[in-house]
């Protein structure tokens, strides 16, 4: 573990992780993430951004392109935040890093958040943008990516697109995906102390916001329970010391059982979604793996 990761873990455990029994307050959490997002590294050299306002007529939520000058592939990125927090600003560093490393144009999607817009609003927004991208880009040149709730959203999007007969993308990258809102995974309990960011009750609160009465085992919200057959190759990252470890391992196992190619990368002593913490040496190594996967799945034209 790098010294940067050591101090990041210390900071998250002492300053970020709620005390046991603390309930999630939506506005407080959003304001906290907004404050953290002010301390960002500049965009990498050669990466430019273009904001896209919502297009109500087309059913498209706001989004942002980050791209190198001559992109060789297209990525759709869906941020985490428990479906109720975070957005384009909080995740711009990792999106920009993926753009540079994978020589890609990356669309970061600012999907609607719960509790104002519960499930399936985020899935509808993701599907609308996927359809829009496919209108001018072949599916075999597209890779999906997301972290935490955004990783779950990637899986929900893949299953929804498959049901509607849309072509599958070339692959998907998932950082600590949240795919079981019923929280039945063994690690939700076994890693409650080891996780430096969250307690089990934090998952329950976020799930309640997003579900709004929907069953937590409904595949639209919890794609672990959905159909895996026919999905594209997956690259899944998870920490051995996070409460969502079992979400990642069970997703990997279920994908393999359905004949889907899946790679599972497990790291010790890393925080939840460490690859998005772009200044960590471990994140840089993981993002190199991501870029290699994207380049393999979508060769340069």
Residue 28 buriedness (CB in 10 A; 0-12 / 13-18 / 19+): exposed
222 annotated active-site: no
Cβ contact 186:90 at 8 Å? no
148 annotated active-site: yes
Cα-Cα-Cα-Cα dihedral sign, residues 155, 174, 127, 86: positive
Q: What is the CA radius of gyration of the chain?
A: 18
Whole-angstrom distance, CA of residue 30 vs CA of residue 173: 25
Is 13 strand, coil or helix? helix
Please give the structure tokens belonging to residue 165.
Answer: 């007969």
Omega before residue 115 within 30° of 0, cis: yes
| Residue 158 CA, distance from chain mean position | 13
Q: Annotated catalytic residue: which of 85, 99, 108, 148?
A: 148
Q: Annotated catalytic residue: which of 91, 117, 252, 272?
A: 272
Q: Annotated catalytic residue: which of 176, 187, 242, 286?
A: 242
91 annotated active-site: no
Give 107's strand partners: 65, 76
Strands laid side by side in the 63-67 sheet = 48-52, 63-67, 104-109, 73-78, 142-147, 171-175, 234-239, 262-267
Please give the structure tokens belonging to residue 248.
Answer: 């990642």
Residues forming the active site = 148, 242, 272
């Amino acid at each position: 573990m790098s010294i940067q990761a050591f101090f990041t873990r210390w900071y998250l455990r002492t300053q970020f992780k709620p005390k046991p029994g603390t309930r999630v307050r939506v506005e407080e959490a959003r304001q906290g993430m907004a404050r953290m997002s002010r301390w960002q590294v500049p965009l990498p050299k050669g990466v430019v951004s273009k904001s896209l306002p919502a297009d109500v007529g087309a059913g498209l939520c706001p989004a942002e392109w980050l791209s190198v000058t001559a992109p060789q592939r297209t990525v759709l990125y869906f941020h985490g935040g428990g479906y109720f927090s975070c957005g384009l600003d909080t995740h711009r560093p990792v999106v920009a890093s993926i753009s540079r490393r994978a020589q890609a144009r990356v669309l970061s999607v600012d999907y609607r958040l719960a509790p104002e817009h519960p499930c399936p609003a985020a899935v509808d927004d993701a599907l609308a943008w996927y359809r829009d991208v496919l209108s001018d880009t072949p599916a075999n040149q597209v890779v999906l990516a997301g972290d935490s709730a955004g990783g779950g959203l990637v899986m929900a999007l893949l299953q929804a697109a498959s049901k509607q007969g849309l072509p599958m993308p070339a692959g998907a990258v998932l950082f600590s995906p949240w795919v079981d809102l019923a929280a039945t995974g063994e690690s939700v309990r076994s890693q409650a102390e080891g996780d430096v960011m969250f307690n089990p009750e934090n998952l329950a609160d976020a799930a309640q916001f997003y579900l709004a009465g929907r069953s937590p085992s409904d595949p639209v919200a919890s794609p672990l329970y959905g159909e895996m057959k026919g999905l594209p190759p997956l690259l899944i990252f998870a920490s051995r010391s996070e409460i969502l470890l079992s979400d990642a391992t069970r997703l990997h196992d279920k994908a393999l059982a359905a004949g889907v190619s899946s790679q599972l990368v497990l790291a010790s002593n890393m925080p939840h979604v460490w690859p998005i913490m772009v200044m960590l040496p471990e994140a840089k190594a993981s993002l190199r793996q991501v870029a290699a996967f994207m380049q393999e799945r979508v060769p340069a034209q």
